[in-house]
Amino acid sequence: MLKIDNHLSETDIRTKGSIQKVIRCSTKDRRGWIEKAPVSESLKRHNVLHLGFATMKPPFEIVRMNLGGSYFLAGIEGRGRVIVDGRWKNCMPGQAFLLSPGTMHAFEAFGDKDWSFCWIRFKDRALAQPIANANSPVLARFNGEAFRHAVMGLYMEATTSRNPEMELLWVDVIYRYVQKFAEPRNLDARLLQLFENVEETLAESWSNQRMAKVASIGERQLERLCLKQLGRTPRQHLIWLRMHKAATLLSTSDQKVESIAAEVGYANPFTFSNTFKRYMGWSPSTYPRVGI
């Protein structure tokens, strides 16, 4: 079982007997687990590198230290665990998680039963508007079974019919499922307004009490709403917004770490660095300087 510490590294453990149905956008990716997957150029329409359905036998462990694009995974059967904001969280049937570009992500089959899920990996890190943004839900309810049917529809077209028009239709349906999940406007209007306000003033002190007051609701109600719609507590989402902004500044500017820490609300650069490493998987000084 993967442990959260300072020694996580690229990991790819796939047990013999597992099933993977993968579609990729080109033959450029030659990793062993994907090199025989059918190609559908229709994926390029929405900047998708690959997607698929899998039933993985334990042990199954994946760690990617620097996510080059948004990543979406929907639980179908069994139970898996994913690292979200530096913490393990269960991903059950009827749930999905979505991670932003530039973050570390890790997931594993949890327990002794197979874990079935669908995923889609985007190549959108350099886009002005990646599919996952700072206020997208990270872990929330999702109809994974309907999504699986769309993924398998595309897989069948890519492996049998080879009809580009039909492939495009399936890709559009798949993309729309993820887009709908990711859209911040699906948030309760009070949360959307609150976190837009927070994003504009990250250097200020934000307590749960202040956030609840701005949202015009009680603290407990705010926490329930955040957990239901974002998969995070208000405090966790505040930290995520700060880390997301810091990652953008680190990758696109020449500002010093101390300056960035202060800009996102941290008076102590050491505390900022530790928090950034836990959330993003990199220390601020080693974070890749490429556009997000």
Q: Give the residue among 193, 199, 186, 241 at the shortest CA–CA distance from 217.
A: 193
Instruction: Give per-residue pLDDT as tens, 185-207.
Output: 678 999 999 999 999 999 999 99
Instruction: Give per-residue pLDDT as tens, 154-182.
Output: 999 999 988 999 999 999 999 999 999 99
d(CA 69, CA 207): 31
User: In this structure, what DSSP letter does residue 57 have?
Assistant: P
Mean pLDDT, range 232-243, rounded to an integer: 95
Q: Is the pLDDT of residue 49 over 60?
A: yes
Q: Is the pLDDT of residue 18 over 50?
A: yes
Residue-by-residue DSSP string for 58-110: SS-EEEESS-SS-EEEEEEES-EEEEETTEEEEE-TTEEEEE-TT--EEEEE-
pLDDT band, residue 289 (cuts 50/70/90)? low
Mean pLDDT score of the chain: 91
Q: Is the pLDDT of residue 4 over 70?
A: no
Q: Do 16 and 55 meet the contact criterion of CB atoms below 8 Å apart? A: no
The domains found in the chain, sorted by start residue, are 11-185 (2.60.120.280), 187-286 (1.10.10.60)
Q: Do 77 and 93 meet the contact criterion of CB atoms below 8 Å apart? A: yes
Structure tokens at 158: 């890519």
Q: Is the pTM of this model over 0.85?
A: yes
pLDDT at 292: 36
Instruction: Give per-residue pLDDT as tens, 87-139.
Output: 889 999 999 999 988 888 899 999 899 999 999 999 987 777 899 988 898 98
Cα within 13 Å of Cα(225), Cβ side: 21
Q: Is the pLDDT of residue 65 over 90?
A: no
